Structure 1
């Protein structure tokens, strides 16, 4: 089943909303494929133009840099994860079950549609694991933040922190733990796949299962009062 999803992202990310035209949609969907295939360092607008059978100036009419295009893609993904969390948790009352489901979602265990609005979620998940830190580990991070370019990530963290507080109302670090869980979900899977000696995944496979088990232990041991 193919589902159409649209999220309102910061207008500072683009010159022209790519959701409004077919070429804009092609730019984003093919950028996801290309970044997945060759990595962000090797990705260029010139290569993207060839892939979509267009020109670099056409891409620049939508995005001023590949960094903003990457941030746009990541923001779409964060918005999607929050949408899935809210939708899947709506009918669950048990806060423990809610938290467990969130951990499944952020480690990509929960069921999902493979394609939504021409965006491949498996490719997106890979990009988030490998490339997401490149969106904010930059010298201009404060300026970028002031333009609300990280709003979807903050919103997702806030949602997770609110669920954590239903489990442990007196826990003093809900936002810090929420952001730690998101970052750890990506870092530990990357390490498990590529730098396994930085993890305790002795099987050297089943990376998502390992990360989910680790995050579950981390979450519930952290919020438990001593």
Structure 2
């Protein structure tokens, strides 16, 4: 099973990149080191010149893969959400009880990320920190509608859709499954952020995890709706 799963490729919408970074060692090096640099200095201070210096390559070589740092950020966040979707499918497939499946789904989108050894050039722990800090910057732009039409955010939207379907399976009469699903996903990222930076405005800490809160919130919301 492990050998079979190791051959699964995380798919990213092709319109995001000019050349698939998974197709070459340089492309993988760009992705690997962009994660390290972005997590270290943040999106505002990140640029291809600094990335080129880090990987020992010309800035122009990076532009052969991505037309801008914004597109690179979309690529990284899309890869992350595709990876999350893969975990959702894998870890909930054999769960028949609708409550247990919902709890597992919430856990997957709100838990502390651990390194996945199947993708050696991507540090999922650092990538998770980038998504916590920078995810909204991938779509809070004037071009969001164009990029959405081009399919740039499909992995993220599929995760929302999958969790919405799990919510509806648990409570078939609940009227707002998509809204609840997207709220849990976005709020889980926010709670991870405030847990680190604004500790005075959250009850989440080393003892109380965002996962505990969102399981409690979601189950009570859906139980009240039954």
Superposed pair shares fold, TM > 0.5: yes
Question: Secondary structure of the residue that 1:161 maps to in structure 2?
Answer: helix
Q: Residue 110 and residue 127 in structure 1: after superposition, are their counterparts in 2 closer, same or farther (change >3 A)?
A: closer
Once the two structures are superposed, what CA deviation does each residue of 1:13-39 show, in whole Å capped at 9, x if it has no partner? 111111111101111111011111111
- Once residues 110 and 44 of structure 1 are traced to their aligned partners in structure 2, the CA distance between those partners, rounded to angstroms, is 26
Unpaired runs of at least 5, structure 1: none
- State the 1:143 CA deviation: 1.1
Q: Is the 8 A contact 1:4 1:117 kept in 2?
A: no
1:97 and 2:100 correspond: yes
1:206 and 2:209 correspond: no
- What is the TM-score with the length of structure 1 in the denominator? 0.92
1:153 and 2:152 correspond: no
1:73 and 2:91 correspond: no
- State the 1:146 CA deviation: 1.0
Once the two structures are superposed, what CA deviation does each residue of 1:94-121 show, in whole Å capped at 9, x if it has no partner? 1111111112211234766256241111
Partner of 2:29 in structure 1? 26
Question: Secondary structure of the residue that 2:160 maps to in structure 1?
Answer: helix
Once the two structures are superposed, what CA deviation does each residue of 1:169-225 show, in whole Å capped at 9, x if it has no partner? 011111111111110110011011101222234xxx317x42112111221122123
Over the aligned positions, Cα root-mean-square deviation in angstroms equals 1.9
1:46 and 2:49 correspond: yes
Once the two structures are superposed, what CA deviation does each residue of 1:131-180 show, in whole Å capped at 9, x if it has no partner? 10100111211111111100000111100001001110011111111111
Q: Residue 189 and residue 111 in structure 1: after superposition, are their counterparts in 2 closer, same or farther (change >3 A)?
A: closer
1:130 and 2:127 correspond: no
Question: Secondary structure of the residue that 1:27 maps to in structure 2?
Answer: helix
Partner of 2:220 in structure 1? 221
- State the 1:4 CA deviation: 5.1
Question: Secondary structure of the residue that 1:206 maps to in structure 2?
Answer: coil
Q: Residue 194 and residue 164 in structure 1: after superposition, are their counterparts in 2 closer, same or farther (change >3 A)?
A: same
Question: Secondary structure of the residue that 1:29 maps to in structure 2?
Answer: helix
- Once residues 129 and 84 of structure 2 are traced to their aligned partners in structure 1, the CA distance between those partners, rounded to angstroms, is 14
- State the 1:7 CA deviation: 2.6
